[in-house]
């Protein structure tokens, strides 16, 4: 009896201790989050572009994670710090992607939409295949650790997901040409969706060895995922617009109810797509674009002000915490650093694959564009340079570590991706301002000239699309929105 009492007391003490460790771990993460925001503000205020807020957050996570690794309660702290891909994909990533679609610079984005789709869809596919094939050949010729052909393509698909958050922030602060900003921003947003769709398609082949590995089947599976996910987001956004137009919530001053319902629709589209076996990221992206264009106009002014600020707040918190969280996991997760050659050649291969994406695609786009709208070489170089790897590649790599049955292969892919993320975010992100100055794509005169050209191009584009605009105004807007809005 006494022994049973001692066991209960020890279990109670262990539970209390575990609760304390959990509280301290979460408190530490809150402190890091606050410190990252303050440090980011100081860096912006002093225009120190060599270390941006995202890079600083990543470093904070790495340093604190390293300290947790050598602490006395190593395992307890590490359990609360470890990166969970489900938490990443279900809670951190959706608000960031939704805000990207919801907060688009509409006119330059849609005037460059064709070029963005070419870079994001065709270009990402090319970059994934080039990376995968080069990695496979590198292993075949004993230059690096050997992966199977399908594993090489999986690595190529996940490492082709770009995350130029640091570059875009510096673009904004330095006043870069708005067409260049739209290309980099739009390509990065759709690129994430494309990379996820490619990864999921290849994983279907992996889990079903009897499947037909033909190119036609791969393209068909990808199109089903991409178009189905996009359709899910579009349908949910249009349903949202119809609800807020005909429910009369703004007329009856039900502002709280408006806001509560409005913020639920993005997650509804995300979970619906995931439940259907599609991509929630693609769904929530297009849901955000159409909700801003149609449904947002049906809200009352107080509800518009609140939802705009709410989505911006949640996105900023999620993005900063994401880089801290990623830094913590880089320091605490087990890595395989024995294959240095694989890391080195992978960096070389992704740079080559990025070039195979940007420059041929830009050449094809320029063939059909008028002279005033051609993408100049300096913009192409900036676009090539902006291919940083970040949270999306890291999350997919961690997921592949769980998905691939060969443990050593999964760990090699994860470690390599981790190294590439750190190198690109810290070094390439930190040298962005120098790159922009060398390419001479910043400055008021240059920006003003390009704004004038862009406005002229937009005017011509709107002239050519006048029929579609009249169709939208007279039919679509009258059906789902209370007032017209220029895109």
Q: Does residue 406 come out as left (phi exceeding 0), alpha (psi in the -120 to 50 range) or beta? A: beta
Burial (CB count <10 Å: 0-12, 13-18, 19+), residue 117: middle
Distance CA 104, CA 455 (A): 17
Q: Which positions of the chain have pLDDT values less than 50?
A: 74, 444-468, 484, 486-487
Burial (CB count <10 Å: 0-12, 13-18, 19+), residue 207: exposed
Residue 14 has a pLDDT of 64
Residue 44 has a pLDDT of 82
Contact present, 358 and 377 (Cβ < 8 Å): no
Distance CA 192, CA 429 (A): 18
Residue 34 has a pLDDT of 92
- What are 115-145's pLDDT values in tens digits? 998 998 899 999 999 999 999 999 998 888 8
Residue 486 has a pLDDT of 46
Residue 3 has a pLDDT of 59
Length of the chain: 487
Residue 463 has a pLDDT of 46
Residue 234 has a pLDDT of 94
Give the chain's domains with CATH numbers: 85-480 (1.20.1530)
Residue 180 has a pLDDT of 86
* DSSP for residue 51: S
- What are 350-396's pLDDT values in tens digits? 999 999 999 999 999 999 988 888 999 999 998 998 888 888 888 88
Residue 17 has a pLDDT of 66
Residue 455 has a pLDDT of 45
Strands (E), 139-293: none
What predicted TM-score, i.e. pTM, was given to this entire model?
0.80
Distance CA 365, CA 52 (A): 32
Residue 453 has a pLDDT of 42
């Amino acid at each position: 009896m006494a022994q049973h009492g001692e066991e209960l007391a020890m279990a109670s003490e262990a539970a209390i201790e575990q609760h304390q460790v959990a509280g301290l771990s979460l408190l530490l993460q809150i402190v890091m989050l606050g410190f990252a925001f303050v440090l980011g503000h100081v860096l912006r205020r002093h225009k120190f572009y060599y270390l941006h807020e995202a890079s600083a957050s990543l470093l904070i996570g790495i340093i604190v994670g390293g300290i947790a690794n050598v602490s006395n309660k190593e395992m307890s702290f590490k359990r609360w710090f470890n990166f969970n891909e489900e938490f990443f994909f279900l809670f951190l990533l959706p608000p960031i992607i939704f805000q990207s679609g919801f907060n688009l610079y509409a006119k330059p984005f849609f005037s460059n939409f064709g070029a963005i789709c070419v870079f994001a869809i065709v270009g990402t596919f090319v970059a994934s295949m080039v990376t995968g094939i080069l990695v496979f050949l590198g292993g075949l010729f004993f230059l690096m650790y050997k992966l199977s052909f399908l594993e090489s393509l999986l690595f190529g698909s996940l490492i082709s997901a770009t995350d130029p958050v640091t570059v875009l922030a510096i673009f904004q602060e330095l006043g870069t040409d708005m067409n260049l900003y739209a290309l980099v921003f739009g390509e990065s947003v759709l690129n994430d969706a494309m990379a996820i769709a490619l990864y999921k398609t290849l994983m279907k082949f992996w889990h079903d060895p009897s499947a037909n590995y033909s190119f036609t089947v791969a393209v068909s599976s990808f199109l089903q995922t991409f178009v189905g996910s996009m359709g899910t987001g579009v349908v949910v956004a249009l349903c949202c617009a119809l609800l807020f137009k005909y429910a009369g919530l703004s007329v009856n001053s039900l502002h709280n109810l408006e806001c509560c319902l409005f913020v639920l629709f993005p997650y509804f589209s995300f979970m619906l797509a995931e439940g259907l076996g599609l991509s929630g990221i693609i769904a929530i992206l297009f849901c955000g674009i159409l909700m801003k264009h149609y449904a947002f106009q049906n809200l009352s002014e107080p509800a518009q002000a609140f939802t705009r600020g709410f989505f911006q707040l949640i996105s900023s918190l999620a993005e900063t915490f994401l880089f801290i969280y990623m830094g913590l996991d880089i320091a605490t997760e087990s890595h395989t650093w024995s294959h240095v050659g694989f890391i080195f050649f992978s960096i070389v291969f992704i740079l080559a694959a990025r070039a195979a994406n940007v420059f041929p695609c830009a050449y094809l786009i320029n063939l059909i564009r008028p002279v005033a709208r051609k993408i100049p070489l300096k913009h192409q170089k900036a676009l090539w340079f902006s291919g940083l790897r970040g949270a999306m590649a890291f999350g997919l790599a961690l997921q592949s570590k769980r998905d691939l049955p060969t443990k050593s292969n999964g760990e090699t892919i994860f470690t390599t991706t981790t190294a590439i993320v750190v190198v690109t975010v810290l070094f390439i992100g930190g040298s962005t301002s120098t790159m922009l100055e060398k390419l001479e794509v910043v400055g008021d005169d240059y920006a003003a000239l390009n704004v004038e050209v862009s406005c002229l191009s937009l005017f011509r584009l709107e002239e050519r699309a006048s029929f579609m605009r009249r169709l939208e105004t007279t039919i679509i807007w009258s059906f789902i929105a209370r007032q017209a809005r220029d895109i």
